[in-house]
Amino acid sequence: MRHVKIAIEHWPVAGEFRIAKSSLKEITVVTTIIKEDDHMGRGECRPYMKYGESAQSVVAQIKNVQTQIENGLNINELQNLLPSGAARNAVDCALWDLKAKKSGNTISQLLGLPAPLPRLTAFTLSIDSPRNMQKAALNAKAYPLLKIKIGGPEGLISCLAVMEARPDAQLIIDANEALSPSDIAGFQAALKDMPVIMIEQPLSRDHFASIPNTPKALPIFCADESLHVATDLERLWEAGYRAVNVKLDKCGGLTEGLELMRAAKAKGFIIMAGCMVGTSLAMAPMMMLESYADYIDLDGALLLAKDRRDGIIYEGAYVHPASRALWG
């Protein structure tokens, strides 16, 4: 017989983390622990208000299926029991962790994937004045790949300021839905010859009509808030997106994350393995899928004031796979 424990946890952010339309000094996560005999599996999720989630709603979703989990629910059955989103992510990852601990195999062995390797991760600069973002970029000189958060068309000034301070760095510009269709041309004209890998989610998640999709249009555009599951990919490709940011809290766990990455790769998308701000327990499952990712953006634990015991090791700009003491 299994036992399920669900907890709401609060973790302080290092300073303040600002993106378009919101700022954070603390994050709230929900953890699920599944115990069976002498083994324990754990999963963490970050409920996201913009997707209609709260810590309380996620806990309620998990409690609604708690009896099934305790009676032996398996990973495949879970996919039809809960919708994509944070709640399913926490349970899915806990079940995978439990399966690994019970079998003595690693997650990569269970999935038939290569053992994960350390990868270069992007490091995120939150919204601030151009001068302060320049300083932040210089302080992050260990990171050759920077993600710059912007809150509107004025963010282009900050992007140019960061590039002036860090000509050695490549950039991902993340608008978090803060641009309008009329802003797109200005960004492309200013950045087409710059070391900008992509512009992430420039438009509202429901806006699919104004992404330039000519073959040589640079920088390319990356879908984040517009992408949740594999069935979203066709519409995104037709809209002009050529990269996707896969996050387990959006798609609903490691199981769907793997299927989504495989489908995105087959379609021709550039894939970024992303995360919400969270502890190492939330970063660990996505590292199992690093072999599918062209870029890694798993700095969520670095943005916290403290992390979990046995947290993921960050060595310079590289993020390492989790120890089995943490997950998997």
Q: Quick count: other Cβ atoms within 10 Å of Cβ 313?
A: 13
Whether 250 is catalytic is no
Quote the CA–CA distance of 65 and 130 in Å, as a whole number. Answer: 48
Quote the CA–CA distance of 65 and 302 in Å, as a whole number. Answer: 33
175 neighbors 199 (Cβ within 8 angstroms): yes
Catalytic residue among 99, 101, 147, 247: 247
- Listed in sequence order, the residues at least 6 apart from 261 whose beta carbon sits closer than 8 Å to its beta carbon are 246, 271, 273, 289, 292, 293
Q: Residue with structure tokens 């870029």?
A: 295
Catalytic residue among 99, 101, 147, 149: 149
Structure tokens at 196: 């900008």
Quote the CA–CA distance of 147 and 125 in Å, as a whole number. Answer: 6
Cα-to-chain-centroid distance, residue 3: 29
15 neighbors 63 (Cβ within 8 angstroms): no
CB crowding 301-311: b at 16 or more within 10 Å, else e: bbbbeebbeeb
Tell me the H-state helices in 86-215: 86-103, 107-111, 130-139, 155-165, 181-191
Q: Residue with structure tokens 């409920």?
A: 47
Peptide bond into 321 cis (omega under 30): no
Active site residue ranges: 149, 247
